[in-house]
Chain A
Amino acid sequence: MEDLEFENSLKLARVEQGMTQSELSELAGVTRQTIGLIEAGRYNPTLKLCLLLARITGKSLDELFWIKGGK
């Protein structure tokens, strides 16, 4: 399988909602470090968590996560 790189706009979406990493992590049920790593592009979340984060931030999945160079 092709080694795809992912990008996301989670930080932007979170700031738009006026949330801190801690608040978002509590709502999503993950650690603050996990949110930080996702925002930094250092961790690829599962589809389940992606959908949850999209729901919390009020974005669609493809607004929040996309393949690098493919948006």
Chain B
Amino acid sequence: MLNRFNVDERSRQTATRTAYFFLHITQLLLAGVLFYRLYVLGQPDGELRDIQVVLAISIFGYMGTQLYLGGILPVPNLKGALIAYGILAGLVTGVSLIAYGIPPLSDWANTWLPALLGPAIMVGLYSLFAWLGKRRIERQIEE
């Protein structure tokens, strides 16, 4: 159980808790940096793409892994997924319309497409990970 680095179950548990705590602190700080640079310094969205990508990978990677390894979250049926999509897409579209007004149709690839496709990807990924996680746990129980 003990290796040459003196790592046992307690030190692993401590490391896990510490990593969990600082992961969320890092995510919060990154989000803070993002908002500060975007709304206080007024930097263009395109210049913040690197931080956005890192933050998205961190948050969605964490949530996806939790969903998969946990295997306890409900897997939505088609009706549930459509309702969730409707709420999310409505929220994103509504907030964007209030904040920026109606965008020109010619700019649909940067406006309507992400607002409508983003929530679909989120709901789809959630359903996929929840289903995979549930299947993984049920396979382990059957073995």
Interface residue ranges, A against B (CB under 8 Å): 25-26, 28-31, 33-34, 37, 43, 45-46, 48-49, 52
B105 within 8 A of A: no
Bound together, the chains give a CA A8 to CA B33 distance in angstroms of 48
**Residues from chain A with Cβ under 8 Å of B110 in the complex:** none
Bound together, the chains give a CA A35 to CA B9 distance in angstroms of 11
**Residues from chain A with Cβ under 8 Å of B11 in the complex:** 31, 34
- Establish whether residues B8 and A29, one from each chain, have CB atoms under 8 Å apart when the complex forms: yes
Q: B14 to nearest A CB, angstroms?
A: 10
Chain B, interface residues (CB within 8 Å), range:
under 10
B2 within 8 A of A: yes
Q: A39 to nearest B CB, angstroms?
A: 13
Q: Which single residue of chain B is at the shortest CB-CB distance from A29?
A: B1
- For the complex of A and B, 9 pairs with smallest distance between CB atoms: A29-B1, A30-B8, A29-B2, A34-B10, A31-B8, A46-B9, A34-B8, A31-B6, A43-B10
